[in-house]
Chain A
Amino acid sequence: MALPATRPTGAVPSGPAGAALSTDQLLEVYYYLRLTRTLEERLVALYRQTKVIGGLFRSLGQEGESVATAYALERGRNKDILSPLIRNLGSMLVMGAQPIEILRQYMAKADSPTRGRELNVHFNDLEKGYLGQISHLGDMIPVMAGIALSFKMRGQPRVGLVYIGDGGTSTGTFHEGVNFAAVQRLPLVVIGEYNHWAYSTPPEKQFAVKDLAEKAKGYGIPAVTVDGNDVFAVYEATKFAVDRARRGKGVHFIEVKTYRRKGHAEHDDQHYVSKDTLELWSKSNDPIDRYTQRILAADLVPEGDLKEIDDRVRVEVDQATDACVNEPLPGAESALPGVYVDPPAADKLWFKSL
């Protein structure tokens, strides 16, 4: 069932709210949703104070599908592995990335996970289960296919999950990677995020199919389209695909219909998006609002617990910020080591010693 391109709707219904999740899990999901949004709001403040060195990429409106897809994986040391896109901060937090790591990355601190070499969410912890993307969209699909291949070769019951945006499905590496994984029947779940914008390019200039799920037919893999702002629908669809992959049944494609409510990055004023559309998605289809209303309406969690989580998240983000905001940038010559194992460092050029 397809959703209209720009109108929010709950057209694809999910099962009974919270049927598969305990109260503690429901609260944990809420925690990650709230943490994602609060952390990004903090990053906006730091960006405006020019403490963020590069661009800032928001996932506003996409927190639900990020958190829900990651939450369907097995987490812990050496379990499942996902590869996020720039708007999957929530996925990384679910897998165990720490707020202070994100803050340090954006501010290019010496103690950031990449020691100031890479930006934003481009970092990884394979033991925790996330592999940072590179900027070349689509490339992570072959790489994640290779990770899933290693699971298959070693007979490990592990699953890989990789995200691709609506625009990213136009790349050659998307095609090569999904096809390769499909032929090899690898334990890989591909999340197609239909968020309506690839920078400023709308879907109708990106592809001639209506739904991304249609593309899956070309690879002989099953696909489903779900309401990406319905946390439960996304979780259930992903859980199904992940379990199926773990049983050795191969690749599954999940299209999540959502909406990018901010510009490509913080500098982008989104003049190409109508104010009415943004307001509609914000007012009536915010994934966190919908999740909260649903668990409260069904009496699944006490309201006071949500308030407690809000407070806890604020304190955590405050503490993480305070702990790293004044940290130094990396020393200049730390740019040289680590291109190879051997030789251990690049040559310092002669004119630097004059």
Chain B
Amino acid sequence: MAEVTFLEALRQGLWEEMERDERVFILGEDVGLYGGAFKVTDGFVKKFGESRVIDTPISEAAIVGAAAGAAHMGLRPVAEMQFIDFISCAYDMLTNYVATARYRAGLSTPMVVRGPCGGYVRGGPFHSQNPEAAFLHTPGLKIVYPATVRDAKGLIKSSIRDDDPVLYLEHKWLYRRIKAQLPEGEEILTPIGQARIAREGKHLSIISYGATLWKSLEAAEQLETQDGVSAEVLDLRTLLPLDDAAIVNTVKKTNKVLIVHEDTRTGGIAGEIAARINEQAFEWLDGPIMRVTAHDVPLPYAPTLEDFVLPQTDDIVKAARWLAKY
């Protein structure tokens, strides 16, 4: 067992898949010689060569489009967005071309688009985004969003092996902050589409993912010790397709739900989850489904502003207390 960071786990997963399957290749901006802006692909070009670790022009649509074409031909591209904020430049290619390819034309497009997302790092409006809601609405894509070291590795490996196009969102606040022991020699494959109970509880459920999963766990700890409230925390891990069964199960167990995400509120994934709970577990609810999300503003730069706009542990604690008393 060796202790590794979230980033190192992701790197290991990529490396192992590149070693295992010669069809896998990486393309993106500064991924080769420089090793990626966050060093996720550090050392890859030396090991795998320039034909499998391709430095591209600043052309997100071309990166994604070329990945799709190569995927049609049986390769397994992993396209890096240097910051996930720039995935919007490839929105057309992903939603119109890639996502529809199998349905409209029977085209196989096994590819991964990955990149650093999220705030809490003073990145400002264009280096902090969480783009999941923009793609949640697109049949044909899968979206995974690991929170743990193990899932960082297990989900990148599963995404590369998946026969459908997958967006892999990696929170840069977790990159070097989260560390865990990973068994050496064990093949870690986290199944896509399965949520995970991150903490057992009985009074209310907190449903979250990514960086706010950790803030939710912190909040649950405080609620336990300070209030005697036992909060269950569900780590979604995959956002598309959602694990309805896991969501409904925790609702049936605790009867109260707080959905926590870092993305903005309106049109965010919490709304979709609330609608599904309403449809599938309405009778089991003992209170309103509540949300703790970012405020509906572009993410500002100054620490005072960013800290206010993004959901914090204290916000989750207060919201959970309110809901527990309902």
A147 touches B62 (CB 8 A): no
How far does the alpha carbon of A66 sit from the alpha carbon of B279 in the complex, in Å?
A: 53
Counting CB contacts under 8 A, is B271 at the interface?
A: no
Instruction: Return the chain B residue nearest A338 by Cβ.
Output: B103
Counting CB contacts under 8 A, is B124 at the interface?
A: no
Counting CB contacts under 8 A, is A315 at the interface?
A: no
- Residue from the set B56, B67, B73, B140 with the largest chain A CB neighbour count within 10 Å: B73
Smallest CB separation, A153 vs chain B (Å): 5
The proximity string for B residues 90-103 relative to A, scoring 1 for CB distances below 8 Å and 0 otherwise, is: 00110011001011
Instruction: Return the chain A residue nearest B59 by Cβ.
Output: A176
Smallest CB separation, A150 vs chain B (Å): 4
How far does the alpha carbon of A342 sit from the alpha carbon of B158 in the complex, in Å?
A: 13
Instruction: Return the chain B residue nearest A186 by Cβ.
Output: B66
The proximity string for A residues 230-241 relative to B, scoring 1 for CB distances below 8 Å and 0 otherwise, is: 000000000000
Q: Name the B residues within 8 Å of A114 (CB-CB).
A: 104-106
Counting CB contacts under 8 A, is A144 at the interface?
A: yes
How far does the alpha carbon of A342 sit from the alpha carbon of B140 in the complex, in Å?
A: 10
How far does the alpha carbon of A41 sit from the alpha carbon of B168 in the complex, in Å?
A: 48
How far does the alpha carbon of A61 sit from the alpha carbon of B115 in the complex, in Å?
A: 47
Smallest CB separation, B151 vs chain A (Å): 19
Counting CB contacts under 8 A, is A117 at the interface?
A: yes
Smallest CB separation, B53 vs chain A (Å): 12
How far does the alpha carbon of A91 sit from the alpha carbon of B279 in the complex, in Å?
A: 50
A141 touches B65 (CB 8 A): yes
Task: Answer whether A179 and B57 are a contact pair too, CB < 8 Å, given A136-B97, A341-B163.
Answer: yes
Smallest CB separation, A158 vs chain B (Å): 10
Set B57, B62, B75, B108: member contacting A173, Cβ < 8 A: B62
- Residue from the set B62, B67, B77, B102 with the largest chain A CB neighbour count within 10 Å: B62
Instruction: Return the chain B residue nearest A341 by Cβ.
Output: B163
Q: Name the A residues within 8 Å of B66 (CB-CB).
A: 142-143, 145-146, 149, 177, 180
Q: Name the B residues within 8 Å of A150 (CB-CB).
A: 69-70, 73-75
Set B63, B92, B106, B241: member contacting A136, Cβ < 8 A: B92
How far does the alpha carbon of A338 sit from the alpha carbon of B25 in the complex, in Å?
A: 26
How far does the alpha carbon of A148 sit from the alpha carbon of B68 in the complex, in Å?
A: 12
Counting CB contacts under 8 A, is A213 at the interface?
A: no
Counting CB contacts under 8 A, is A46 at the interface?
A: no
Q: Name the B residues within 8 Å of A144 (CB-CB).
A: 69
Smallest CB separation, A152 vs chain B (Å): 8
Q: Which residues of B contact A (CB under 8 A)?
A: 25, 51-52, 54, 56-57, 59, 61-75, 77, 92-93, 96-97, 100, 102-108, 139-140, 142, 162-164, 241, 279
Ranked 7 nearest A-B pairs via Cβ: A146-B69, A142-B65, A146-B66, A176-B62, A150-B73, A176-B59, A180-B62
Q: What are 10 A-B contacts defined by CB distance under 8 Å?
A: A139-B61, A139-B65, A139-B93, A146-B73, A150-B74, A176-B59, A179-B62, A339-B103, A341-B163, A346-B139
20 new A-B contacts at CB < 8 Å, known A136-B92, A148-B69, A176-B61: A114-B104, A118-B105, A122-B105, A132-B105, A139-B97, A142-B63, A142-B68, A142-B93, A143-B65, A146-B65, A146-B71, A150-B74, A152-B51, A177-B62, A177-B65, A177-B66, A179-B57, A339-B102, A339-B103, A346-B139
